[in-house]
Chain A
């Protein structure tokens, strides 16, 4: 029998550090997309709270903490990140395992927002895009998900097949932001 060995989407590519900017891969346990049946959002939110301690996220918002998060993931769609989804959720929503489908990275640093501003067309100022906010958007021409987990901590997700391109694009943006910073000193 052949032996298979699991590889993470960004294996061999990360971490990358440029100045105080740091890009790392995150392997977030289970990821399940939740697509609630018509009129069942409230009921779904209740069983989500009971089973995982996270409520259904409103558009553009994240609920929960690192151990279990629900990320708004598109129209009438959320992504449960962390735990295996409880059976009780299946009565109210279509559940799809996405665990190996996405590359997930964290970008951290004082100028992380400046790096992201080069890659996606969002207003990233903290007054507009605060910690706990999330968006589906264009990340260097890829369909992505961008979330602000903390003032200087961002999570970026793209399809797993785009992992190398994502790392390449973010790395270039990090180097350019850092170069600008150095030239101003």
Chain B
């Protein structure tokens, strides 16, 4: 697998570290079911998934990668700072 880092260009998977699902952080500090979902509950989609990857052995950027777990197609890579996570 290769990922197109927006800064470094297309690079081998070995340079990246998987950092988990890219989720929207719930608003507020009070406990709510959304926090339970955010911390504990994950979908396991057969299809498109949106994850955080870090270009650890490259520029260091955190990236949001959209990919298809069935076809292995990489659909898009964006900087986390610009796409929000």
Interface set of A (CB-CB < 8 Å, partner B): 59-60, 74-75, 121-122, 135-138, 143
Interface status of B58 (Cβ within 8 A of chain A): yes
Chain B interface residue bracket vs A? 10 to 19
Q: List residues of chain A with CB within 8 A of the CB of B58.
A: 74, 135-137
Distance in Å from the Cβ of A130 to the closest Cβ of chain B?
13
Residues of A within 8 Å of B14, CB to CB, are 121, 138
- Chain B interface secondary structure, helix, strand, loop or mixed? loop
The verdict on B57 contacting chain A, using a C-beta distance below 8 Å, is yes
Q: Which residues of B contact A59 (CB under 8 A)?
A: 7-8, 59
8 Å CB interface, B1-58 against A? 7-9, 11-12, 14-15, 56-58
List residues of B whose CB falls within 8 A of some A CB: 7-9, 11-12, 14-15, 56-61
Residues of chain A contacted by B9 (CB below 8 angstroms) = 60
5 contacting pairs across A/B (C-beta < 8 A): A75-B7, A136-B57, A137-B15, A137-B58, A143-B56
B57 contacts which of A60, A75, A143 (Cβ < 8 Å)?
A143
Q: Which residue from chain A places its CB closest to the CB of B56 in the assembled complex?
A: A143
Chain B residues with Cβ below 8 Å from A143 are: 56-57
Q: A59-B7, A60-B8, A135-B8 are in contact. Are A75 and B61 (CB under 8 A)?
A: yes
